[in-house]
Amino acid sequence: MNELLSTIKENKEKFSSLAGDTITLKIFSNITLNLLEPFIINSYLRQGLKAEVSEFSYDSMIADSRDVNKSSICIIHCDSLNFSGEPTENISNRDNEYINLLFEKLREQIQIVINNLEQTKEVYITTMSYLTFEFLNGQNSLIKQRIEQFNYFLNELEERYLNLKVINFDNILFNSEGSACINTRELYNSVAPYKFSLLKNFGDEVAKFSSLKNGKVKKVLALDCDNTLWHGTIAEDGQEGIKQDIDSKEGKIFKRIQEDADFLANNGAIVCLASKNFEEDVLNFFKAGKTHLKLDNVSAYKVNWKDKAGNLKQIATELNLGIDSFIFVDDTDHEVNLVKEEAPEVLTIQVPSDINNYPKEFSKIRNQFVAQKTKTNKAKQYKQIFERNKAMSDSSNVDDFLKKLGIKLIIYKNNQKTSKRISELSQKTNQFNMTTKRFTEKEILDLMNNHKVYCFETNDRFGESGITGVAIVKIKNKIAEIDTFLLSCRILGRNVENEFLNQILIDLGKEGTKTVIAPYFETLKNKKFGNFYENFGFTKIDQEQFQLDLEKFKIKNLNYIEVDYE
Residues present in the chain in total: 566
Q: Hey, how many other C-beta atoms are within 10 angstroms of the C-beta on 1?
A: 6
Q: Minimal CA–CA distance to 56: which of 26, 11, 82, 30?
A: 26
Residue 384 resides in a domain: no
494/449 same-domain check: yes
Q: Work out the average pLDDT over 228-234.
A: 91
Full residue range of the structural domain in which residue 438 is found:
402-565
Give the sign of the dihedral formed by CA 504, CA 505, CA 511, CA 513: positive
Q: Is the pLDDT of residue 471 over 90?
A: yes
184/243 same-domain check: no
434/294 same-domain check: no
Q: Is the pLDDT of residue 12 over 80?
A: no
Q: How many folded domains does the chain comprise?
A: 3
Query: Could you give the count of Cα atoms lying within 13 Å of 36 in the half-sphere of its Cβ?
Result: 33
Q: Tell me the per-residue pLDDT of 98-147, one tens digit each, with 9 for 90 and over.
A: 999 999 999 999 999 999 998 888 899 999 999 988 888 889 999 999 99
- CA pair distance 445, 176, nearest whole angstrom: 44
Q: Work out the average pLDDT over 193-213.
A: 86
Q: Work out the average pLDDT over 446-467.
A: 88
Position 80, amino acid: S
Q: Tell me the per-residue pLDDT of 252-289, one tens digit each, with 9 for 90 and over.
A: 999 999 999 999 888 888 999 999 888 889 999 999 88
414/429 same-domain check: yes
More confident site: 47 or 501: 501
Predicted pLDDT of residue 269: 87
Predicted pLDDT of residue 375: 44
SS3 call for 299: strand
Q: What residues are paired with 123 via a beta bridge?
A: 74, 164
Residue 243 resides in a domain: yes
- CA pair distance 147, 170, nearest whole angstrom: 12
Please, are residues 205 and 174 in contact by the beta-carbon 8 Å criterion?
no
Predicted pLDDT of residue 399: 66
Predicted pLDDT of residue 390: 65
Q: Hey, how many other C-beta atoms are within 10 angstroms of the C-beta on 155?
A: 10
Q: Is the pLDDT of residue 374 over 50?
A: no
Q: Is the pLDDT of residue 449 over 90?
A: yes
- CA pair distance 413, 331, nearest whole angstrom: 50
H helices present in 429-493, as ranges:
441-450
In this structure, what CATH number is given to the domain that contains residue 412? 3.40.630.30
Predicted pLDDT of residue 129: 92
544/409 same-domain check: yes
Please, are residues 370 and 212 in contact by the beta-carbon 8 Å criterion?
yes
Q: Tell me the per-residue pLDDT of 403-443, one tens digit each, with 9 for 90 and over.
A: 777 888 999 999 999 999 999 888 878 888 999 898 888 89
Q: Quote the distance between the C-alpha of residue 50 and its chain's center.
A: 16
185/247 same-domain check: no
More confident site: 88 or 39: 39
Predicted pLDDT of residue 372: 52
Percent of the chain clearing pLDDT 90 (strictly above): 35
